Structure 1
Amino acid sequence: MDFSLNDDQRLLEESLGRFLHNEYDLPARRARIASDDGFSRQTWKTFADLGWLGVPFTEDDGGFGGGPVDVMVVMEAFGRALVVEPYLPTVLLGGRLIAEGGSEAMRRAILPAVIDGAMLLAFAHSELDARFDLADVTTSARRTDGGFVLSGRKSLVLGAAAADRLVVSARSGGDRRSRDGLSLFLVDPASDGITVHDYPTVDGHRAAEVTLTGVNVPSDALIGEEGNALPLIEDTVDRAVIALCAEAVGIMATMQAQTVEYLKGRSQFGVPIAKFQALQHRAVDMFAACEEARSMALFATLNADATPPERARAASAAKAFIGRKSRTLGQEAIQLHGGMGMTDEMMIGHLFKRLTVIGTLFGDTDHHLDRFADRASTA
């Protein structure tokens, strides 16, 4: 089987590599994080001009018409450079939910603006007590004559403070953890009754707690069929998990390469420590872990368009496997750098922080091991 990229994907990979190598070093990243938005809107517009924001959207929606492999290429490159711009919340979460569930009028109003870099989105779904259960939603959606009234609280909403629109999940029927009764709504964060408490996360990104108190939304704010949003949410989150696996692979590759370079440049007893056989063995183990992770990320990517059970198994298998491998590789990288690996001045610590956060987003290793076992037993 041929796993090589096609010509368009190679061109995409090359354009990503050139831009990020020239424009996204550690000082530039630090400046972006310190800005009011926590990222660079100018860089975001450049992403749009280069076509990266349109990669997963169809040509009918104004996009590139790319598939899961194209997204994998983008996310691995973003991982290598530790990009902080809100690609995950805007394009892969909010954008996909609207692209797959929104009405034609909604898609025409929102997606071209997203692809042009003029609109940012955030997916407000997770709640404090849900513990990775996508069906565990207590935020309510009560029907009124003109639409719905939303009330509840959402936690760890990525990119919410900068978002122009929120995609909010709320329960319009069913019990707290019922698979039926979940609905999605497109909400203006400036609406009365919404408060957004923004905060930085340990990896340099931004998230927020979003509280909705009697927020009125019109009927045409509904995304998809009322009460039947969970399959779309599961599909979107599985694809986000697969994309995060690709990002983790990019981070792991950078950590491995930077660690080898550090070993070559540091000397003890008059020779580079890279000549010490024990350290060579550890460096080889890091390389092997990186390649194994890349294989699992590709496996999950190639199953992104499979049936829902197969997609779920592949996503969870990759997330659990890469979570374990990335933790081991990250710890090795820090140890081989010694005390320098813990400093803010070196990239290696920032890479490990992002890997740690990826390890818990949308479910940690234990959660995905259990999920894989459940899906495998019912296959």
Structure 2
Amino acid sequence: MLLSRKAEEEQKVNFELNEDEEMLKAVVERFVADRYDVERRRSYLNEEAGYSADNWSVLAELGVLAVPFSDEDGGLGLDATALSVIFQALGAGIVVEPVLESAILPGLYIAAGLAGDLRDDWVAGLISGERRVAMARQEMTLRDPALPRETTVRSNGDDVTIEGEKAYAIAGGMADGFIVSAIGEDGVEALFLIPADAEGLDTREWRLADGSFTASLTLEGVTIPASNRLAIDDADQQRIETLASLARSSEALGIMGAMFNETLEYLRTREQFGMPLGKFQAVQHRMAGQYALLEQSRALIELAVVSENSPEFAANTDGARAFIAENALELGHEMIQLHGGMGVTDELAIGQGHKRLLVLSRWPEAPLVTLDRYAGAL
């Protein structure tokens, strides 16, 4: 049966950004241009938090931290397209501020899982940049599902008491609170918002491969109100995690594009044997192969974005993440090779970008885990 003209129009996929998305893209690109270069990025990593407190305030003022939150919460109420656009722009600058891990991801969990003044105060604080929260779910036994979780929670009247350890809490050293997972007496895992100054909570900071901070947590008799438990259903949790995965993959795509463009410019200007390196056919073929990977990655991100309101959103995002996590590292290796030995140094954005891609490719899970989940959804 032939489709009507109206039906044909409805089936067309529109990849053009709307006015709000174009504005956000321009705002973040200007932020990167004004505040980021190789030396300044290194200086930000050496600050107490591992990023710039001033930059954090600016990002909040620009509305970057507010993108996915509802209008009622003081957010911008924008969709996956805007989120992807912003993180591609942040990735292009290899921005070190933990926009996703300290604001957007925990904020979406709190908005969906808490209620009343507790919810509103924390969400408002995250959007304004006045508060930061770290997710603390990973444990040393997490790689083996057969092993029991070590962090437990037990009821204590109107309170709950949590005991255990968490291996990773990205940017946790400067967090005002943590969202911690724990196994209850009924064997069911739940999430709890724990203030950073809670008695019995100890944090230890250390650096990841890209120079950013993470923290491990020790919880010894940490007692909080039972109302700090996040009542969040599986559908909301899956959507939040899908948006977070899309943001990380979009950041990786932005880094890939920046590394490719910088290498392309280098090959046009660096001369060897009396001609630019880019004139050699072998080099051209290697760059052409990496350009194909870059465009495949971009296409997979676009597929995920346009499927946001369909049942395939999570699967398409997993597919994009599985592909990008592996191939981003290949592209990084190639860009380093084409630069020579200086490509691995922190004096070039190439080396810094590759280290960030290494972390993104392994966090929060290995690419094969994502690939298995994607294959299971087909």
1:339 and 2:341 aligned? yes
* Paired residues of 1:13 and 1:77 also in contact (CA < 8 A): yes
Partner of 2:19: 7
The TM-score normalised by the length of structure 1 is: 0.92
* Paired residues of 1:40 and 1:85 also in contact (CA < 8 A): yes
* Paired residues of 2:193 and 2:229 also in contact (CA < 8 A): yes
Indicate how the Cα distance of structure 1 residues 135 and 125 shifts in structure 2: closer, same or farther if over 3 A, else same. Answer: farther
* Paired residues of 1:132 and 1:362 also in contact (CA < 8 A): no
Partner of 1:326: 328
Partner of 2:5: none
C-alpha distance in structure 1 between counterparts of 2:37 and 2:106, whole Å: 28
1:244 counterpart (237, 241, 248): 248
Q: Deviations over 1:347-371 (max 9, x none)?
A: 1011111111111112222111211
The TM-score normalised by the length of structure 2 is: 0.92
C-alpha deviation, 1:232, in angstroms? 4.2
1:102 counterpart (114, 129, 133): 114
1:155 counterpart (164, 167, 178): 167
Partner of 1:166: 178
C-alpha deviation, 1:340, in angstroms? 1.3
Paired residue type of 1:235: R
C-alpha deviation, 1:280, in angstroms? 1.2
C-alpha distance in structure 2 between counterparts of 1:132 and 1:106, whole Å: 35
Matches within 5 A, 1:274-353: 274-307=278-311, 310-353=312-355
1:262 counterpart (266, 290, 298): 266
Indicate how the Cα distance of structure 1 residues 311 and 299 shifts in structure 2: closer, same or farther if over 3 A, else same. Answer: same
1:129 counterpart (113, 138, 141): 141
1:82 counterpart (94, 113, 121): 94
Note the residue ranges of structure 2 that are not aligned, 5 or more in a row. 1-12
1:354 counterpart (350, 353, 356): 356
Partner of 1:366: 368
Any idea what SS the aligned residue of 2:22 has?
helix
The percentage of aligned residue pairs carrying the same residue is 34
C-alpha deviation, 1:173, in angstroms? 4.2
* Paired residues of 2:151 and 2:182 also in contact (CA < 8 A): yes
Partner of 1:221: 228
C-alpha deviation, 1:231, in angstroms? 5.0
* Paired residues of 2:65 and 2:104 also in contact (CA < 8 A): no
C-alpha distance in structure 2 between counterparts of 1:33 and 1:150, whole Å: 32
C-alpha distance in structure 1 between counterparts of 2:293 and 2:192, whole Å: 41
Paired residue type of 2:299: S
Q: Deviations over 1:232-274 (max 9, x none)?
A: 4443222211111100100000010011011112101111111
C-alpha distance in structure 2 between counterparts of 1:133 and 1:205, whole Å: 28
Indicate how the Cα distance of structure 1 residues 116 and 262 shifts in structure 2: closer, same or farther if over 3 A, else same. Answer: same
* Paired residues of 1:248 and 1:326 also in contact (CA < 8 A): yes
* Paired residues of 2:209 and 2:358 also in contact (CA < 8 A): no
* Paired residues of 1:84 and 1:204 also in contact (CA < 8 A): no
Partner of 1:178: none
* Paired residues of 2:328 and 2:357 also in contact (CA < 8 A): yes
Partner of 1:211: 218
Q: Deviations over 1:187-238 (max 9, x none)?
A: 111111111010111112110111111100012211116xxx6554443222
2:198 counterpart (191, 202, 205): 191
C-alpha distance in structure 1 between counterparts of 2:145 and 2:234, whole Å: 11
* Paired residues of 1:72 and 1:243 also in contact (CA < 8 A): yes
Indicate how the Cα distance of structure 1 residues 18 and 294 shifts in structure 2: closer, same or farther if over 3 A, else same. Answer: same
In the alignment of these two chains, the number of paired residues is 366
C-alpha deviation, 1:295, in angstroms? 1.0
Any idea what SS the aligned residue of 1:358 has?
helix
Any idea what SS the aligned residue of 1:156 has?
strand
C-alpha distance in structure 2 between counterparts of 1:89 and 1:31, whole Å: 21
1:41 counterpart (35, 46, 53): 53
Note the residue ranges of structure 1 that are not aligned, 5 or more in a row. 176-180
* Paired residues of 1:120 and 1:162 also in contact (CA < 8 A): yes
C-alpha distance in structure 2 between counterparts of 1:277 and 1:110, whole Å: 56
Paired residue type of 1:197: R
Partner of 2:154: 142
Indicate how the Cα distance of structure 1 residues 259 and 237 shifts in structure 2: closer, same or farther if over 3 A, else same. Answer: same
Paired residue type of 2:167: S
Any idea what SS the aligned residue of 2:178 has?
strand
* Paired residues of 1:98 and 1:106 also in contact (CA < 8 A): no
Any idea what SS the aligned residue of 1:161 has?
helix
Q: Deviations over 1:271-296 (max 9, x none)?
A: 11111111112112222211110111
Partner of 2:79: 67
* Paired residues of 2:201 and 2:217 also in contact (CA < 8 A): yes
C-alpha distance in structure 2 between counterparts of 1:59 and 1:171, whole Å: 34
Indicate how the Cα distance of structure 1 residues 65 and 316 shifts in structure 2: closer, same or farther if over 3 A, else same. Answer: same
Paired residue type of 2:260: Q
C-alpha distance in structure 1 between counterparts of 2:127 and 2:101, whole Å: 13
